[in-house]
């Protein structure tokens, strides 16, 4: 057996470089595919976001009116119909069957629709792109109630409330006396009323800002009591004097009851005693007579006559009105007649008694 020649065997051995190249190619393709997918997704997300640019997110309201899910155009139409148009209504206030109206035209009302739509869009597009798209896809609500940005003339509301107050307010009336020469008749007081104007102003403003037809506002008032009631009249008028010129009688009342009558003299022809309701303006003991500058006074006109025989004002003086008063006289024969120059004459003992029973301010009713 001879030595054979070696055989050469042929076979394919794996090439590591080629295998690594194929792996890189696959990864590159996969990456490119992934990037292409992401790009397409980003483009889609962006496109979807842009498609929602003109639409209001669910849950957004304006003045309580839902505009969520609407386009900007439709949202504007809804705001105009449900907020702006209903604002053009009068405000009506009622009290005891009377109505007081504030026309919408006097309020100069306006709603800034453009501004509130812009705000709604801003709220819709808050957050990043992905966050917005996720919210769009999920239909998540943006729960917010936007102010419709209403404006109106505050002064018009103030003027309206002042006008209503002028119609409703009524001052209380104190109890008083309806005098006659023979008796005093109490007149009951009357309660007044005062509008709660601040409360009404708040209610009017609330109605002005609220869309819809609204309901009339019932004005609220407070009852105001008189300072003097019928029960307090006697204390208010502890003394009261009435004078009947036709009877030549002066009557004195205490606590609204007649306690004494006195005979008097009153003004003669051409020299009337002042009639109506007056009061004692001043009191003097042994008064000086300041003679009026009148033709009847003759040479005494303008002089001051001290107490004494030549002074006709005897013992006491109670001034009434425009130089007329109650005084004593020693001309007793004139009592019961129209003999004075406008004063009330009394017998000296009577005028001294009366003087001590009345005060300055005592009412005097002369008929």
Nearest to 107 by CA among 65, 159, 147: 159
Calpha distance 125→53 (Å, rounded): 8
For residue 343, which of 309, 308, 294 has the smallest C-alpha distance?
294
Q: For residue 287, give the nearest of 251, 350, 329, 245 by alpha carbon.
A: 329
Residues 287, 78: Cα–Cα separation, whole Å: 90
How far is 146 from 123, CA to CA, in rounded Å?
A: 10
What's the chain's length in residues?
A: 367
d(CA 52, CA 124): 9
Please identify every residue annotated as catalytic.
327, 343
Exposure string for 154-168, b = 16+ CB within 10 A, e = fewer: eebbeebbeebbeeb
Q: What is the Cα–Cα distance from 148 to 81, expressed in whole angstroms?
A: 13
With CA atoms as reference, report the closest residue to 304 among 286, 290, 287: 290
DSSP label at residue 275: P
């Amino acid at each position: 057996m001879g030595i054979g020649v070696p055989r050469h065997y042929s076979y394919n051995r794996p090439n590591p470089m080629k295998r690594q190249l194929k792996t890189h190619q696959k990864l590159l393709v996969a990456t490119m595919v992934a990037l292409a997918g992401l790009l397409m997704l980003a483009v889609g997300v962006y496109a979807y976001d842009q498609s929602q640019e003109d639409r209001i997110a669910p849950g957004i309201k304006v003045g309580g009116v839902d505009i969520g899910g609407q386009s900007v155009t439709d949202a504007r139409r809804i705001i105009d119909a449900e907020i702006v148009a209903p604002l053009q209504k009068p405000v009506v206030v009622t009290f005891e069957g009377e109505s007081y109206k504030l026309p919408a035209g006097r309020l100069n009302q306006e709603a800034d629709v453009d501004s509130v739509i812009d705000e709604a869009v801003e709220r819709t597009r808050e957050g990043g792109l992905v966050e917005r798209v996720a919210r769009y896809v999920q239909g998540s609500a943006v729960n917010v109630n936007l102010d419709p940005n209403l404006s109106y003339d505050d002064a018009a509301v103030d003027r309206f409330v002042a006008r209503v107050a002028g119609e409703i307010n009524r001052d209380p009336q104190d109890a008083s006396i309806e005098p006659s020469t023979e008796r005093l008749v109490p007149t009951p007081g009357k309660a007044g009323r005062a509008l709660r104007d601040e409360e009404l102003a708040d209610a009017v403003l609330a109605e002005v800002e609220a869309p819809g037809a609204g309901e009339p506002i019932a004005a609220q008032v407070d009852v105001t009591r008189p300072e003097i009631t019928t029960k307090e009249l006697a204390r208010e008028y502890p003394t009261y004097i009435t004078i009947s010129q036709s009877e030549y009688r002066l009557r004195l009342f205490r606590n609204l009851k007649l306690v004494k009558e006195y005979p008097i003299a009153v003004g003669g022809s051409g020299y009337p005693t002042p009639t109506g309701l007056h009061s004692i303006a001043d009191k003097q003991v042994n008064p000086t007579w300041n003679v009026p500058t009148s033709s009847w006074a003759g040479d005494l006109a303008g002089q001051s006559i001290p107490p004494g025989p030549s002074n006709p004002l005897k013992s006491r003086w109670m001034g009434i009105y425009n130089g007329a008063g109650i005084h004593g006289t020693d001309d007793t024969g004139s009592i019961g007649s129209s003999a004075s120059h406008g004063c009330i004459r009394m017998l000296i003992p009577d005028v001294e008694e009366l003087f001590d029973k009345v005060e300055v301010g005592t009412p005097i009713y002369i008929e």
